[in-house]
């Protein structure tokens, strides 16, 4: 999830844990612990683009990192707040749960999380919620604001942190139910439309959980389309993209290519834009794909000009969002 959502969730968890004991400082501890895994952004200061892609949500989002950093934060907080009636074991449970919630929630996005680093490079990704979903973030956000302004130790504070954590948890469960429905529909449709595939994924289109982006295919290429929970027809209009592995022969020994293939989890295609070789990671969707089935992918990397590749994941997410694109997006969600 985005950094602001993590801060708000952590603040609510801190209030729930020790708001009545250490006051609003508990919110600060919660926000700090919930944000700690994202210190991997520092790696971008010295790493190249593809190395940073793998470092992000890598070791700092692992179970081992959680186990290492938890007792350190617990010892620090326990000493700073003496005298108090909170045993060290409770501090450890608090920080451990807050940090684990961060790496657990991040696994529901399509980026992937390295839970088992450094022993395994396998990325965990449930593809059940968009990385910035306002319907998830709103409740902990508004609860956090209320808790900042309300006086410490007022009974009504309990209702606010329960609202922030409870509703977001229910919404995440709702997203998982939607994911289960969409996956069931997509498998049936792929079989009905006789589309060959060895791997497929479904992940929410931007900012909501009703319209889903679908990719299915094999080492030859991928079929890409969209499926709404409100679609009546048991079919999907797919656009086919050949994988074009043969185009990679001139650059097959490049380290950045090998890292990109690993990062993409095999969901990639290669294209040539004029004289430039471009690597597409299909997992992050298309730019206004519901409106333009042949549109560019959000994630594209210039293999022969790596220095021209910056903000490789983020740059395509907001492209093309003018009024008509938004209207077509809402219409597609409705099943049109």
Phi, psi torsion values for 298, nearest 5 degrees: -60, -40
Give the pLDDT confidence score for residue 311 in this predicted structure: 58
With cut-offs at 50, 70 and 90, classify the pLDDT of residue 85.
confident
Contacts (Cβ under 8 Å, ≥6 apart) of 43:
51, 52, 55, 56
Q: Are strands 199-204 and 211-218 parallel, antiparallel or unpaired?
A: antiparallel
Give the pLDDT confidence score for residue 310 in this predicted structure: 60
Alpha-carbon gap, residue 281 to 240, rounded angstroms? 15
Residues 165 and 202 in one domain: no
Domain count, the chain: 2
Alpha-carbon gap, residue 228 to 165, rounded angstroms? 27
Residues 115 and 18 in one domain: yes
Residues 45 and 161 in one domain: yes
Residues 113 and 198 in one domain: no
Give the pLDDT confidence score for residue 316 in this predicted structure: 63
Phi, psi torsion values for 122, nearest 5 degrees: -65, 135
Is 187 inside any structural domain?
Answer: no
Domain carrying residue 315: 193-333
Tell me the β-bridge partners of 183: none
Q: What is the mean pLDDT of the chain?
A: 92
Alpha-carbon gap, residue 193 to 200, rounded angstroms? 15
Helix (H) or strand (E) holding 240: strand 239-242
**Please, how many CA atoms are within 13 Å of residue 240, restricted to the half-sphere of its CB?**
10
Q: Which residue among 113, 143, 174 closes a domain?
A: 174
Q: Which residue among 174, 202, 217 closes a domain?
A: 174
Is 188 inside any structural domain?
Answer: no
Is 185 inside any structural domain?
Answer: no
Q: Are strands 211-218 and 297-302 parallel, antiparallel or unpaired?
A: unpaired
CA dihedral (310, 205, 180, 269) positive or negative:
negative
With CA atoms as reference, report the closest residue to 131 among 265, 318, 306. Answer: 318
Residue pair 213/204 in contact by the 8 Å Cβ criterion:
yes
Residues 160 and 268 in one domain: no
Phi, psi torsion values for 334, nearest 5 degrees: -70, -10
Residue pair 30/18 in contact by the 8 Å Cβ criterion:
no
Give the pLDDT confidence score for residue 306 in this predicted structure: 60
Share of the chain above pLDDT 70, in %: 96
Range with lowest mean pLDDT among 68-72, 95-99, 148-152, 224-228: 148-152
Residue pair 88/73 in contact by the 8 Å Cβ criterion:
no
Give the pLDDT confidence score for residue 193 in this predicted structure: 96
Is 22 inside any structural domain?
Answer: yes
Residues 68 and 168 in one domain: yes
Alpha-carbon gap, residue 138 to 279, rounded angstroms? 35
pLDDT in tens, 110-141: 999 999 999 999 999 999 999 999 999 999 99
With CA atoms as reference, report the closest residue to 259 among 193, 309, 200, 334. Answer: 309
Is 34 inside any structural domain?
Answer: yes
Is 157 inside any structural domain?
Answer: yes
Give the pLDDT confidence score for residue 244 in this predicted structure: 96
Is 149 inside any structural domain?
Answer: yes
Alpha-carbon gap, residue 77 to 30, rounded angstroms? 11
Mean pLDDT, to the nearest integer, of 75-103?
Answer: 92
Mean pLDDT, to the nearest integer, of 131-156?
Answer: 94
Instruction: Please report, in angstroms and rounded to a whole number, the separation of the first and last CA atoms in the chain.
Output: 29
118 prior amide bond cis, ω within 30:
yes
Residues 213 and 160 in one domain: no
Residues 147 and 231 in one domain: no
With cut-offs at 50, 70 and 90, classify the pLDDT of residue 267.
very high
Give the pLDDT confidence score for residue 315 in this predicted structure: 62
Residues 15 and 157 in one domain: yes
Residues 70 and 40 in one domain: yes
With CA atoms as reference, report the closest residue to 122 among 219, 54, 204, 37. Answer: 54
Residues 151 and 17 in one domain: yes
Residues 154 and 202 in one domain: no
pLDDT at 307 over 70: no
With CA atoms as reference, report the closest residue to 92 among 78, 82, 103, 102. Answer: 78
Is 179 inside any structural domain?
Answer: no
């Amino acid at each position: 999830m985005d950094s602001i959502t993590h801060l708000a969730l952590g603040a609510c968890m801190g209030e729930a844990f020790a708001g009545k004991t250490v006051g609003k400082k508990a919110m600060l501890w919660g926000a700090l612990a919930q944000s700690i895994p994202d210190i991997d952004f520092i790696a971008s200061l010295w790493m190249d683009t593809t190395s940073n892609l793998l470092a992000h949500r890598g070791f700092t989002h692992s179970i081992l990192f959680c186990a290492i950093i938890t007792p350190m934060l617990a010892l620090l907080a326990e000493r700073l707040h003496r005298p108090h009636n909170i045993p060290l074991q409770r501090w450890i449970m608090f920080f451990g749960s807050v940090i684990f919630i961060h790496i657990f929630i991040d696994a529901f996005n399509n980026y992937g999380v390295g839970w088992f680093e450094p022993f395994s490079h396998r990325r965990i990704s449930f593809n059940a919620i968009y990385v910035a979903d306002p319907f998830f973030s709103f409740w902990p956000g508004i609860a956090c604001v209320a808790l900042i302004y309300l006086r410490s130790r007022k009974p009504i504070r309990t209702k606010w942190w329960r609202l922030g954590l409870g509703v977001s948890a229910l919404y995440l469960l709702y997203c998982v139910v939607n994911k289960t429905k969409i996956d069931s529909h997509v498998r049936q449709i792929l079989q009905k439309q006789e589309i060959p595939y060895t791997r497929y994924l479904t992940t929410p289109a931007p900012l909501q959980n009703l319209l889903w982006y679908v990719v299915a295919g094999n080492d030859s290429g991928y079929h890409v389309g969209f499926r709404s929970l409100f679609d009546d027809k048991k079919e999907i209009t797919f656009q086919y993209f050949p994988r074009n592995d043969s185009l990679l022969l001139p650059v097959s020994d490049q380290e950045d290519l090998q890292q990109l293939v690993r990062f993409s989890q095999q969901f990639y295609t290669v294209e040539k834009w004029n004289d430039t070789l471009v690597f597409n990671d299909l997992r992050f969707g298309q730019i206004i794909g519901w409106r333009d089935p042949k549109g560019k992918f959000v994630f594209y990397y210039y293999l022969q000009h790596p220095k021209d590749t910056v903000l490789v994941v983020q740059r395509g997410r907001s492209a093309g969002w003018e009024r008509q694109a938004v209207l077509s997006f809402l219409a597609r969600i409705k099943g049109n």
